[in-house]
Amino acid sequence: MAEPCDTLLVSPLNQQHRALGALMAPFGGWDMPIQYEGIIAEHRWCREQAALFDICHMGEFLFKGDIRASGLEDLFTFSVAAIPVGRSKYGFLLNEQGGIIDDLIVFRFAEQEAMIVVNAATAPHDFQVIRSRLSGGELVNISAATAKLDLQGPESRAVLTAICGEQAARLPYFRFISLDLLGVPTIVSRTGYTGELGYEIFLPTGKVVELWERLLSDQRVKPAGLGARDLLRLEVGYSLYGSDIDEETTPLEAGLEGFVNFGKRFVGKEALLQQQAAGVAKRKIAFTVNSRRAPRHGYQIQAGGCTIGEVTSGVFSPMLGCGIGLGYVDSAYAASGTVLTVCQDRVSLAATVCGLPFYTGGSLRS
């Protein structure tokens, strides 16, 4: 197994992953586990039991100050001021052109305190952008001091109850609580990236090995890598930043306008309003193919022999038994039921545009 190169960041759980025989690879600038037992076995375990993911690579920023006076309220496509304490919200940080700088979740800790959770690869840039747009308050990058574990799957509530008690385990979707776990302040949040009932747990980096081992000592829990995580998120149609959304795409093109509040100010709003008035030229679609063969990132999407778009994510879905994908096409071809061709070199697949999620059987809302 190759050693991580000097420039990669290393999770505090790196030794644990190597001891478990994980296949490691670079992701977002980090040396992360892609798989342990195997992607499909880990995927199934998450859909049926409870899977534990090391998500220490993601970035966390802590904001303290007046949310409106500091300008934090005008930073994202949703209102931070409107998030009740103890709840979180998903949305976007945009550039002036309406392009997505990052997708993120804001956790409202207190009247004048919030945590912003961002993608790993974009974290340094996000921090610069957010700080440059704030006119007050205090923003601290707490990524290095903050560890994150995701516990996901239908059994995750029972597992968490045994460790944290009923109150944490009974959290409704997009709510969190602060509690003492292993003697340190911990945030348990009812959120995730798999389409299953699950939790994201934030705690001081120094305690993450202990929590990792404690969770894995439960027979219902197995570790899962970023390979399974990508498969799980794609089956429920969640976008992956850097593949399905980036600075060249807007929330309107990505079909994510539900996470944009046009009733408030935010950077990029004018561009989105113009795009909305003119109509979007390209749209993100979801599609299934009539084969076990997977569409893959970069494959062309054609209609009537003409290229009308490109695949941004694709995989074989064990739950559907066929290839599934996301991509962008000329808006004229984005309607559900439209039959398209996905191709690359010798591969040609009949694809049908469909709605999301692909997989509807998850325990997310249970």
- Binding residue for another protein, selected from 11, 14, 16, 35, defined by CB under 8 A: 35
Q: Select from 33-41, 54-62, 78-86, 110-118 the region that touches another protein (CB under 8 A).
A: 33-41
Residues 104, 92 contacting (CB under 8 angstroms): yes
* Min dist. Cβ of residue 103 to another protein (A): 24
Structural contact between residues 295 and 348, judged by C-beta atoms closer than 8 angstroms: no
Single out the residue of 227, 251, 309, 325 in contact with another protein (rule: CB under 8 A).
Answer: 227
From the list 288, 292, 274, 357, the residue with the least C-alpha distance to 327 is: 288
Site residues (CB under 8 A) for another protein, limited to 250-309: 291-294, 296
Q: How far is the CB of 223 from another protein (least distance, A)?
A: 16
| Cβ atoms of residues 235 and 58 within 8 Å | no
Taking the complex as a whole, the smallest distance from the CB of residue 316 to another protein amounts, in Å, to 4
Q: Considering the complex, what minimum distance in angstroms separates the CB of residue 292 from another protein?
A: 4
Q: x-or-dash pattern for another protein, window 40-69, by CB under 8 A?
A: xx----------------------------
Near another protein by CB under 8 A: residue from 129, 159, 231, 329: 231
Query: Smallest distance from the beta carbon of 334 to another protein, in angstroms?
Result: 26
Torsion, CA 186, CA 189, CA 192, CA 195, rounded to 10: 140
89 vs 174: CA distance, rounded Å: 7
CA–CA distances in Å: residue 109 to residues 32, 144, 172, 231, 251: 29, 19, 16, 31, 26
The structure tokens listed for 23 are 């296949």
Binding site for another protein (CB under 8 A): 23, 34-35, 38-41, 227, 231, 291-294, 296, 315-316, 318, 346-347
